[in-house]
């Protein structure tokens, strides 16, 4: 009986992990957002590896995964859209449709019960924290002279 309880607890702990390993999470994100050209920069010293996918005609939509150094675990996920508020050659709000699509995927992956709230926050101008089932999503908005930075940082609860 003790073995059964221990095994059940071990299986629960393994299945309740908020993030997959860095390599598995990178593959999952690549598949979910249909990243055409993902890149992984290896870690060194006190820096873990970095997954990156940059998308959109104006390359304003970015998805990053930071690895905890030397562990193979995910430290956090960052999703950024540099929302042009002045025409930088690709029109106002360049790549907005892709930003909306990837924000929806991010919400579905990390806060599936709150996708509408994630989208509303991401296109709003107020910082907000959204608590999902196993992740915390922190949205920040910074206005610049020609572009706003809209960013969601995802961490485990």
- Residues with Cβ within 8 Å of residue 78, at least 6 apart in sequence: 62, 63, 64, 65, 66, 151, 152, 153, 154
pLDDT at 13: 38
Decide: helix, strand or coil at residue 143: strand
pLDDT at 131 over 50: yes
pLDDT at 88: 86
């Amino acid at each position: 009986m003790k073995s059964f309880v221990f095994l059940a607890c071990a299986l629960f702990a393994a299945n309740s992990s908020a993030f997959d390993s860095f390599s598995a999470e990178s593959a999952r994100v690549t598949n979910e957002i249909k990243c055409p050209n993902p890149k992984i920069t290896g870690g060194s010293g006190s820096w873990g590896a970095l997954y990156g996918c940059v998308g959109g005609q104006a390359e304003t939509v970015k998805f990053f995964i930071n690895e905890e150094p030397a562990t193979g675990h995910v430290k956090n996920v960052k999703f950024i859209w540099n929302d042009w508020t002045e025409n930088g050659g690709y029109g106002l709000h360049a790549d907005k449709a892709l930003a909306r699509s990837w924000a929806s995927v991010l919400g579905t992956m990390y806060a599936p019960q709150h996708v509408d709230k994630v989208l509303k926050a991401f296109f709003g101008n107020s910082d907000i924290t959204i608590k999902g089932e196993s992740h915390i999503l922190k949205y920040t908005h910074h206005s610049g002279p020609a572009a706003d930075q809209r960013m969601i940082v995802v961490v485990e609860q």
